[in-house]
Structure 1
Amino acid sequence: MTPSSGTYVATISSRDGRSIDSDDEDASPSRATQALDPKVRWIQCALGASALLPWNALITALPYFLSRLESTPNLLATFGSYLVIAFTSAQLAFFAYATTRTNTANFIAWARYTTTALVLLLLLTALLPVLPLPPQAFATLVLAGSVVQAATGAYRQTALVALAAHFGPFSIQAYVAGQAAVGVAVSVVQYVGAALAMYHDKGDDGKDGGGAEIGAMAFFALATAFMASMIPAHAWLTNSPAYRALSTSRASEDRITAAQGAQETQPLLPAASVAPEEHKDVSMWEVARMNWKYNLGVGLVFSISLSVFPSITTSIRSVRDTDSGFFSPLLFNYFHFVIFNTADYLGRHACSNPRFHIWSPNKLLGLSVVRVLFIPLILLCNVQRPGQQSATPIFNSDVAYWLLLAALALSNGYVSSLCMMAAPSLEHNPRLSKSQVDAAATISQFCLIGGLSAGSVLSMLVGAIADAVLTKNSFRG
């Protein structure tokens, strides 16, 4: 996911280069210090939530997808990794291309068209449970849909982040808060829906009698309705007096800045040479090298997390041997998404408290590297891969697994957010110049998405290791 894309604007700089906090009494009123209209804040929060809805929807529905593939063990074992690879790879490619189009893009049109497209895609996904497709066709359709959703979402996220930045840092904070919260909401809704459906429609043997299908259909229907509501919300926001006022003010500030720059450089440069050269001299490679520890840190965080979640964690079963109730494979799987998303949100939220801040690149990179220990620890839980003999796991406790999962998610949100916050910060990254801030933020976000893609590929290797090692009971007691 990309939740920290706008956090670097919490501190602004004056034209003379000194750092100005947002509550500085000497700072003139600007988009960085003006209070955000409550309506704008709530809409930005909702837009942030909708930005990651396609990803969260696919990941949270993975247990249902796997239930449709139970008759094909080989496909069942690898589908989770294939789904993550397809989505994250497409997202990385189209996000990179969309970023290169930012200078000429019509972001309002981008957001409008991509939102409409995602409504249709989510609606089609909601109808999947009623389509009598064979496992191979079902898997192909889901994978193809994930690629299209990733491509569409990449353009949409680029447009929505630009819109949030238009309203200033408080708007970006609301947008980021929505991104962090949607994972929790999605997993809770999916879990409750599946639980209600299971207990309402049990077979004679007490097993799930269609709860997965009903829960998936209800969830995707709600997701479709929520995404559709973003069309009028976005239209209201881009036609609001606040948006028009900010657009006018921004244009005026640009003209004033250009005029002042012309006056200051006139004795040295001819009029034809006066142009905003600040961004032209920025070397992306130089900034990437300067921030390599932050960039590598955020990439490692998501690579490690995606290597086991959700492709491996969805194959972990309760140590209680039961097919019904809270510890049934279906509900146990859904509950693990609730744990992960909640802990991930808490990790991100902790970064709002200065007492928990870590700005040292060495410490952050060290924390990112240490997280690799989660991979073998997760494999020590009750992993049940297709074709594997059941044996007593080292961590023969559901509570121990939940604690490990929570620690994985908590550190994921915490360390990644700190890396994203520190990389473009002029105050906490003294090697960075003001002209390099945008490049630093862009590179960090690209490394985050790259980490997601690398982690999805790494999950295939971890899955192969799990198949090879766990079947020999090397990790079992």
Structure 2
Amino acid sequence: MLCASDNGRLVAVIFFILGMGTLLPWNFFITAFGYFNERLNTTKSGNVSDAGQTDPYMFDNMCVLLSQLPLLMFTFLNSFLYQRIPERTRIAGSLVFILLLFLLTATLVKVKMEQDIFFNITMSTIWFINMFGAVLQGSLFGLVGKFPPKYSSCFMSGQAMAGIFSAAAMLMAMISKTDNESAALGYFITPCAATLLTLCCYLVLPQLKFAGLYLKAGTANKEALPDLDLRKNENVTLVKLKPTGSESTPDCNGKSTLFDLDAEGLKTVDRKGEPEEKLSVLAVFKKIWLMALCVTCVFTVTLSVFPAITVLVEPNEMFTGTWADIFRPLCCFMLFNVMDWIGRSVTSFFQWPKKESCLFPILVTSRMIFIPALMLCNISSRTYLASLFTHEFAYICIMSLFAMTNGYFACLSMSYAPQLLRAKDAETAGALMTFFLALGLSLGAMLSFVLKKLL
């Protein structure tokens, strides 16, 4: 009998680091907006754009466009082409290119050049970082889909932690009054170290006995593998197979499944000895479409107001002096990322409603109430709507619930989807879900422009 346990939770830690490695580079990149604006002369202070200042490069708009387009395009392509390119090539290759792009960006901090050239290089860098980031994220969601649901929670908790680190770095730079150039150098070197760590963790993962069972056995064992969410008609026992033969093992329902050992490891075969084929992308979508729509809805609602609307909220009574200066990074970015992380982490030990419940999509769509709630907070630069929630405490409470439900329902959607399929189709589900996640981000970003006009 083959059996392994994750006693040291090393696999969980690795997935946490892999999750953090997918988003930390881009989070730190956008944290350096003050530096980019300063080099392009789009702001007077280098920190916050002046309302009347013109931006000849339209840096903010171009950044949104050149980050969302490749993210959407390549998560979509990855969901179809992932079978043609080996997983190791997609993940390790993406990490290497992201590392090289950040080394280039860090080097350019100390290199003086014409603004046009710097702008073109920066825009190209934004495109390629998000292109490789899309492939990386889609591939890793496919990888984690082969494991029990709690590892999806660890992966997404790591993604939230990336936001916490970037927000903390922003706060430290503001409190210490570090100049934009020095701060940017730190922002770009940190992702280099994080990406190297992520690459090492990915390379170590297949060497661990516990992880190897899931990566090589496919659907072979769902009972002997610890902590696995058992699926109907897949409760079988993993046996050590002979190189030249096959075995038949009974499951808890009295049925038996044949397993054959080939050069690639274990594969499930039907009673006639023919390998079971993976489902097509369309067939997988038909099984997970509800979870795909849920994750799209979660991120559409979130990106429609965060950070475009939430960053406009101002302190009224509680925050004065230095606290007023750090109100936005503290109560907008740090608070959101911390509560988002808590929401994602909760799913490791508490998952409600269940994936079969009709209550799940209802609760997901109910998050739309946060859109008007945050728009009615204390925003002075408004024309049409009045400020209803003027006290900082009201904004903090709304923001906390908004962020926690974002992390909670996003994580549940991403972890529920692979459970609706056989383990061999989990990678396809993960790739598809990543595309719909990116679709939600893009729709939310577009909707934010409309909502700002309604203030």
* TM-score, normalization by structure 2: 0.73
Query: Within 2, Cα distance between the matches of 1:294 and 1:436?
Result: 15
What's 2:17 paired with?
A: 46
Contact 2:153 2:348 in 1 (8 A): no
Contact 1:66 1:76 in 2 (8 A): no
Structure 2: where are the runs of 5+ without partners? 44-48, 221-239, 247-258, 262-266
What's 1:265 paired with?
A: 272
Structure 1: where are the runs of 5+ without partners? 1-27, 199-209, 267-273, 427-431, 467-477
1:121 to 93, 101, 108: 101
TM-aligned CA deviation for residue 309 of structure 1: 0.9
Show CA shifts across 1:48-104 (max 9, x none): 211111232244445665675336645499865653443233112112222323223
Query: Within 2, Cα distance between the matches of 1:117 and 1:375?
Result: 37
Answering whether residue 415 of structure 2 is matched by residue 421 of structure 1, we say yes
Query: Within 2, Cα distance between the matches of 1:350 and 1:64?
Result: 36
TM-aligned CA deviation for residue 442 of structure 1: 4.3
Matches within 5 A, 1:219-368: 219-237=187-205, 256=246, 257-258=259-260, 264-265=271-272, 274-277=274-277, 279=278, 282=279, 284-285=281-282, 288-289=285-286, 291-319=288-316, 325-328=322-325, 332-354=328-350, 356-368=352-364
Contact 1:348 1:417 in 2 (8 A): yes
Answering whether residue 159 of structure 2 is matched by residue 188 of structure 1, we say no
1:383 to 379, 382, 388: 379
TM-aligned CA deviation for residue 307 of structure 1: 0.8
What's 2:73 paired with?
A: 93
2:137 to 146, 157, 160: 157
2:450 to 457, 461, 466: 461
Contact 1:81 1:460 in 2 (8 A): no
Residue type matched to 1:118 in 2? I
Residue type matched to 1:452 in 2? L
* TM-score, normalization by structure 1: 0.70
1:56 to 27, 46, 53: 27
Show CA shifts across 1:183-225 (max 9, x none): 2233223322321x22xxxxxxxxxxx5555434323322222
Distance 1:43 1:371, change over 3 A: closer
- What fraction of aligned residue pairs are identical, expressed as a percent? 23
SS of equivalent to 2:322: coil
TM-aligned CA deviation for residue 339 of structure 1: 0.3
- Superposed CA RMSD in Å reads 4.2
Distance 1:344 1:63, change over 3 A: farther
Query: Within 1, Cα distance between the matches of 2:147 and 2:423?
Result: 20
Contact 1:41 1:174 in 2 (8 A): yes
Residue type matched to 2:314 in 1? R
Contact 2:142 2:428 in 1 (8 A): no
SS of equivalent to 1:367: helix
Residue type matched to 1:461 in 2? V
Query: Within 2, Cα distance between the matches of 1:184 and 1:159?
Result: 23
Query: Within 1, Cα distance between the matches of 2:378 and 2:210?
Result: 54
Residue type matched to 1:404 in 2? I
Contact 1:343 1:410 in 2 (8 A): yes
Show CA shifts across 1:294-323 (max 9, x none): 322221110010011112222333336999
Contact 1:86 1:146 in 2 (8 A): yes
Matches within 5 A, 1:432-447: 440-447=429-436
Aligned residues: 407
- Bigger proportion of residues as helix: 1
TM-aligned CA deviation for residue 179 of structure 1: 2.3
TM-aligned CA deviation for residue 409 of structure 1: 0.8
Distance 1:384 1:29, change over 3 A: farther
SS of equivalent to 1:35: coil
Contact 1:293 1:362 in 2 (8 A): no
Distance 1:66 1:397, change over 3 A: farther
Query: Within 1, Cα distance between the matches of 2:406 and 2:310?
Result: 15
Show CA shifts across 1:17-56 (max 9, x none): xxxxxxxxxxx655xx632655554333322211111232
Contact 2:91 2:140 in 1 (8 A): yes
Query: Within 2, Cα distance between the matches of 1:93 and 1:457?
Result: 16
TM-aligned CA deviation for residue 236 of structure 1: 4.4
